[in-house]
Amino acid sequence: MSTYTTYIVKRSFYSAMLVCLTFFSLFLLSPPLERDSFSDSTGAEPDHRAADAVSNLRLTFAGDIMAHNVNFEMDNYNLIYDDVRDLLLADDLTFGNLEVPVTDDLPMSTYPRFNVHTPYVQAALDGGFDVFSLANNHSNDKGVKGINGTLSVMKKLGKGAHPWRLLSSQAGQNPQQTFFTAYKKNALYDLYNAEPVQHPRLLTAYSGLKTKKEEDIYPVMIKKNGWKILFLSVTEILNVYDEAGRYVYRVSSIESARQAFLEKITEMRRENPCDIFILALHSEAPEYIRTVSSGTKDWFIRLASAGIDIVWAHHPHVMHPWETVEIPGPDGTEPKQALFMYSMGNFISGQRFRPARDDPGRYREYTGDAALLSVELSKNIPAETGSGKYSIISVDPVLITNYVDPAEGVVVKLFDNSFITGLQDVWQNYYRTRMSLMKDYLPL
Ligand SMILES: [Zn+2]
């Protein structure tokens, strides 16, 4: 647990005790359910690291999961993930920004108003993704129908929807009721899918959309390997600012809205004792620009000082550098390490469907290459307390590229030398130059 959180928990000792007692009684009442059941009871994560990693956590962060027509017209979406699936299944949690509404009773559609159907997202889950940010400028491309459709698909793919939403005082929910409802749904789902081979991977968590426009924004609590991870997805921008936009978790970048958001973050952290707080931020940083402004850096530091530990940002469709930053503790207490990902680029898109073979440095070519960040965290206090001070052990980038396979469509490839040497001669120079251009501006 960070020094900052220690500070908060000390200040709210009695409410923390209440939360602990509530959990304790829940476990007594339901002996078959392990603490990590929402993450681990599916039996569909055989490659994920097990109990020996109780104090360590490996998270992978990707950029935008886009869906242009060349993407959703593919016959087999699983091909997109073939080259990275092992990597994404070997960690504890993989995070992706789903930049498309998912509504089965509307036709699939490309830019400027996206929509896909459930199989597109199921392929991402089967490809290793666990957590989706849903707040971005395309969230309301299909209005309220698209938002409700996305939420119902998320529920269907998930484990009973928001099982660990713990801002009970604000949500007016009884945490005990929420717990059992979610468990029951999960158990029924397990029974229904009795054949393990056919068991689909389930979504662990999502954030960013409301069921009612009057709702406040709430984080979700993800429990994994004895860690309590608070997760929230917000966007600074929308493509359409109509009534439907009020269903999206939006935080305007005007100063008064930012100030209110910082206060809300501190409150969320106080009400939901956690090991780390991850914010998915769909930022208003300009598209296709690869540099980070000083204003953005200042904003991220303010977010971290208010209680965020990892800011995972996206929107420019090109990769930005990332860094770990030491954030002073409140009132001179011990500092914490925060991780800032300023823009994670595209994981998959159709934006570089026709690579400019003779002009690999053209600005649009950068939309087809990015890095996945594999982040290893550890904490030094037994998991039961949920209060270990975390350290960032390593941040390892894995370069990926969107490759247009003539037979299959756009697929994600590990972007290394063996990928390049396996290409036709006419393309090797393009990708060799692309790799060196990526290395020129990123800490690879
Ligand atoms: Zn965007």
Q: Is the pLDDT of residue 113 over 60?
A: yes
Determine the pLDDT at residue 192.
31
Q: Is the pLDDT of residue 327 over 70?
A: yes
Considering the entire predicted model, what is its pTM?
A: 0.81
Q: Give the phi and the psi of residue 57 in degrees, each rounded to 5.
A: -145, 130
Going from the Cα of 345 to the center of ligand 1, the distance in angstroms, rounded, reads: 10
Going from the Cα of 314 to the center of ligand 1, the distance in angstroms, rounded, reads: 7
Determine the pLDDT at residue 215.
92
Going from the Cα of 111 to the center of ligand 1, the distance in angstroms, rounded, reads: 11
The string of pLDDT tens digits covering residues 276-321 is 999 999 999 999 999 999 999 999 999 999 999 999 999 999 999 9
Answer yes or no: are the C-beta atoms of 387 and 273 closer than 8 Å: yes
Q: Is the pLDDT of residue 408 over 50?
A: yes
Mean pLDDT of the chain: 81
Work out the average pLDDT over 8-29.
38
Q: Cα separation of 68 and 307, whole Å?
A: 36
Going from the Cα of 83 to the center of ligand 1, the distance in angstroms, rounded, reads: 25
Determine the pLDDT at residue 201.
73
Determine the pLDDT at residue 264.
97
Pair type for strands 336-341 and 205-207: unpaired
The string of pLDDT tens digits covering residues 215-254 is 999 999 988 888 899 999 999 999 999 999 999 999 999 9
Structure tokens at 352: 């570089």
Going from the Cα of 208 to the center of ligand 1, the distance in angstroms, rounded, reads: 13
Q: Identify the CATH number of the domain in which residue 130 sits.
A: 3.60.21.10
Q: Is the pLDDT of residue 20 over 80?
A: no
Domain carrying residue 74: 3-441
The residue written with tokens 């009773």 in the block is 105
Determine the pLDDT at residue 337.
94
Going from the Cα of 136 to the center of ligand 1, the distance in angstroms, rounded, reads: 6
Three-state SS string across the chain, please?
Answer: CCHHHHHHHHHCHHHHHHHHHHHHHHHHHCCCCCCCHHHHCCCCCCCCCCHHHCCEEEEEEEEEECCCHHHHCCCCHHHHHCCCHHHHHCCCEEEEEECCCECCCCCCECCCCCEECHHHHHHHHHCCCCEEECCCCCCCCCHHHHHHHHHHHHHHHCCCCCCCCCCHHHHCCCHHHHHHHHHHHHHHHHHHCCCHHHCCCCCCEEECECCCCCCCCCCEEEEECCEEEEEEEEECCCCCCCHHHHHECECCCCHHHHHHHHHHHHHHHHHCCCCEEEEEEECCCCCCCCCCCHHHHHHHHHHHHHCCCEEEEECCCCECCEEEEEECCHHHCCCEEEEEECCECEEECCCCCCCCCCCCCCHHHHHHEEEEEEEEEEECCCHHHCCCCEEEEEEEEEEEEEEEECCCEEEEEECCHHHHHCCCHHHHHHHHHHHHHHHHHCCC
Going from the Cα of 34 to the center of ligand 1, the distance in angstroms, rounded, reads: 37
Percent of the chain with pLDDT over 70: 77
Task: Name the residue with higher pLDDT: 443 or 172.
Answer: 443
Going from the Cα of 180 to the center of ligand 1, the distance in angstroms, rounded, reads: 36
Task: Name the residue with higher pLDDT: 185 or 126.
Answer: 126
Work out the average pLDDT over 354-380.
96
Task: Name the residue with higher pLDDT: 96 or 163.
Answer: 96
Q: Is the pLDDT of residue 202 over 70?
A: yes
Residues with Cβ < 8 Å from 14, sequence gap 6 or more? none
Determine the pLDDT at residue 332.
78
Count of domains forming the chain = 1
Going from the Cα of 400 to the center of ligand 1, the distance in angstroms, rounded, reads: 19
Going from the Cα of 183 to the center of ligand 1, the distance in angstroms, rounded, reads: 34
Answer yes or no: are the C-beta atoms of 415 and 371 closer than 8 Å: no
Which of 327, 328, 356, 330 has its CA nearest to residue 340?
327
Determine the pLDDT at residue 381.
60
Going from the Cα of 346 to the center of ligand 1, the distance in angstroms, rounded, reads: 10
Determine the pLDDT at residue 16.
40
Work out the average pLDDT over 159-180.
34
Determine the pLDDT at residue 198.
35
Q: How far is CA 143 from CA 114, 146, 247, 354, in A?
A: 11, 5, 9, 31
Going from the Cα of 342 to the center of ligand 1, the distance in angstroms, rounded, reads: 13
Determine the pLDDT at residue 159.
57
Q: Cα separation of 84 and 127, whole Å?
A: 7
| C-alpha angle 368-369-373 in degrees, rounded to nearest 5 | 135
The string of pLDDT tens digits covering residues 29-49 is 332 222 232 333 333 333 333
Percent of the chain with pLDDT over 90: 67
Determine the pLDDT at residue 200.
59
Going from the Cα of 88 to the center of ligand 1, the distance in angstroms, rounded, reads: 23
Work out the average pLDDT over 349-368.
97
The string of pLDDT tens digits covering residues 117-144 is 999 999 999 889 999 999 999 999 999 9
Residues with Cβ < 8 Å from 280, sequence gap 6 or more? 95, 97, 133, 135, 207, 208, 231, 232, 233, 234, 312, 313, 314
